[in-house]
Amino acid sequence: MAGYMCPHYEDYTVGIICALGFEMNAVRHVLDREHVNLPIKPNDSNIYILGEIKRHNVAIACLPGSQSKSSAAIAATNMARIFPMVRYRFLVGIGGGAPSENNDTRLGDVVYDYGKGTESGFTHKTFTGSPPAALRATIYKMQSDHLSRSSQISGYLRRLILQPCVGYQRPSEEDTRFQADYPHTSGQQSCGQCDRTRCFQTSLRPEDDPRIFYKLIASGDRMIKSAAKRIAISNGLGGSVLCFKMEAAGLIIEFPCVASRGISDYADSHKNDAWQPYAAATAAACARELLTHLEPEQVSRIILSDLAGKFP
């Protein structure tokens, strides 16, 4: 993929922000073509990978420093300054799932939506600061298309998993969700010593491909590691939360974006890292799928309109 260079910062219209290196690497491996990096500009702490997906020129950035709302805001601010024509922004990576009776989310599934968190707790996001109308319409179109025909996500995912030395395969560790009042066995890195009689007994799905859910992603500065707290917060927001993540709130306030989150744990004390790479892969594959539904002509029209407003 490497070797092709898109010569101008102004040629990039899609920005993808990842919090962790393995999330960024997953997105990198679903590019159609990777570009040679442009020169680093002063006072920019972001690390970029440049490339294209279905005629969209894409700039991928990784957060500087720790996962936090401020880190996401810094990354987005730098990206907006360096790539002034970025119109559509995505936050792609992993998150903690919040399954419910009405939403059978499993590890490796993907949640699409956008949430707003506060330092004192989690609150429901209003429509203020929502993504551009064209991008929201594209999400609805993709959702509708998936009802009538199969998606390309499994193909993108297989391509990513087959990359040598990448390590994004579906893990051999079981997808196990414990009852909310049963904490992880203290001092154990895995759940091997946890009581399996306290698991939720769920039947296997007929397919292995991840499912996409279109619900609220709640975001704040606190990582949720308690099933009871997960349930309480979700119930407090009307039961609409299917995923928790830390850094999104700092981005969406200033730079409206769409989040694609692969579920890597159940936001409880049994949380471990086993499913993180695969969840990052499913999130990257789903983000690519969304971009294939977004026609480049839509981006061009918006940019020309913006330029006309600046230069009458």
* Contacts (Cβ under 8 Å, ≥6 apart) of 100: 234, 239, 242
Average pLDDT of the chain, as a whole number: 81
Q: CA distances (Å), 221 to each of 90, 184, 193, 280, 303, in order?
A: 19, 23, 31, 20, 34
Range from 82-86, 139-143, 300-304 carrying the lowest mean pLDDT: 300-304
pLDDT at 95 over 80: yes
Give the residue carrying structure tokens 């977004």: 294
The vertex-29 CA angle with 25 and 32, nearest 5°, equals: 140
Q: What is the CA radius of gyration of the chain?
A: 19
Residue 158, C-beta contacts closer than 8 angstroms, at least 6 positions apart: none
Task: For residue 128, name the pLDDT band (cuts at 50, 70, 90).
Answer: very low
Q: Which amino acid is at 17?
A: I
- Give the model confidence (pLDDT) of 168-190 as tens digits: 998 888 888 898 888 888 877 78
Q: What is the average per-residue pLDDT within 303-310?
A: 46
Residues 184-214: pLDDT tens digits? 888 777 888 888 889 886 667 766 788 999 8
pLDDT band for position 106 (cuts 50, 70, 90): very high
Q: Of the ranges 11-15, 22-26, 120-124, 200-204, which one carries the lowest mean pLDDT score?
A: 120-124
What percent of the chain shows pLDDT beyond 90? 31
What pLDDT is attached to residue 257?
Answer: 83
**What is the DSSP code string of 207-220?**
--SPPEEE-EEEE-
- Express each pLDDT in 72-91 by its tens digit: 778 888 999 999 999 899 98
pLDDT at residue number 263 = 96
Structural domains present in the chain: 9-174+207-295 (3.40.50.1580)
Share of the chain above pLDDT 70, in %: 79
Instruction: Identify the CA nearest to 256 among candidates 84, 133, 156, 138.
Output: 133
- Please state, in angstroms and rounded to a whole number, the distance separating the CA atoms of residues 116 and 125: 5
pLDDT of 3 > 60? The answer is no
pLDDT at 120 over 70: no
**DSSP-H helix ranges across the chain:** 21-28, 69-82, 133-148, 153-161, 227-236, 248-252, 276-293, 296-310
- Between 186 and 127, name the one with better pLDDT: 186
Q: What is the mean pLDDT of residues 37-43?
A: 88
Cβ contacts of 230 within 8 Å, gap of 6 or more: 96, 98, 180, 224, 244, 266, 267, 268
Whether residue 28 is predicted with pLDDT greater than 90 in this model: the reply is yes
- Tokens in use for 258? 């769409």
pLDDT for 249 beyond 60: no
Across the range 212-217, mean pLDDT stands at: 86
Residue 222 tokens read as 């606190």
Interatomic CA distance for residues 12 and 7, integer angstroms: 10
Residue whose C-alpha is closest to residue 88's, from 114, 109, 123, 111: 114
pLDDT band at 71; cut points 50, 70, 90 = confident
Mean pLDDT value across residues 230-245: 82
Is there a contact between 6 and 50 (Cβ–Cβ < 8 Å)?
yes
